[in-house]
Amino acid sequence: MEFKIAINIVAFILCVLGSFLTVSADAVTPPTHNYTVTQNDVTCVVLNGGFQLVIPYTSNSKNYTTTVSVSNITTVNGTCDRNVNVLNIYFYKNWKLSFIFINTTVDHYSIGSINLTYGMTTSQFKNLSTTQVGQMITQSSDLPQNTSTGPFGGSYLCSGETTLSLNAGITLKIYNIQYRAFGKTKSGAFSQKNIENCLLSTPVPDMNTAAAVIVGIALGSMMVVVIVLYVIISKARGL
């Protein structure tokens, strides 16, 4: 009896360890990429950052949420007009995330709106109905005035995590972003001067460190259980 109880305790701890590792794997921050838009030999937009989309959806009368990192990028393009710059990021074949930069004041620009087009596929959206599979959805979201404002000739910088609420309940998580728009030169580099920092951001957790701590705690618990198990079995056998 004592032996079965001890075995059950070990199995329980292994299950908990597995769930923690799963959570850690799912919470990994998206990769950071460099995106540029060049037109007529002028690089108007340069953006570094990682993006993650949290998309709610309903299928068969049940509510679900899927989290998709902007990766597997196929194409990056855009336009460099006088009053509007556009950056288009294509990923997962038929997904597109677009940033529209606008003149905010005579000396500043900002992200005026964000457009998202995505396809409903079973690889990204679980438990889809047959009528939903293959649907293409486009959401356009105008942002509050002066969102992520940068100075002309300089750049906007926000280290850590920031979150933007888009239409249809979609959330865009942005990690370690730096961008400039309305550039006038060929250069794709950021100037070390005239950088405007964000006011609030959440530090991005080091998921490798967090996972190591979790594993360490779990292994320590396992050692304690093994010792207790040995004592129980020894007593049961009269040793």
**pLDDT over 60 (residue 8):** no
Choice among 31-35, 72-76, 234-238 with the minimum mean pLDDT: 234-238
**Which residues are bridge partners to 101 per DSSP?**
85, 111
Residues with Cβ within 8 Å of 32's Cβ and at least 6 positions away in sequence, in order, are: 48, 49, 50, 175, 176
* pLDDT tens per residue across span 171-218: 999 999 999 999 999 999 999 999 999 975 444 444 444 444 444 555
**pLDDT over 70 (residue 50):** yes
Q: How confident is the model at residue 72 (pLDDT cuts 50, 70, 90)?
A: confident
Closest CA to 38 of 181, 193, 192, 195: 181
Alpha helix (H) ranges present in 27-60?
A: none
Identify which has the larger pLDDT, 71 or 230: 71
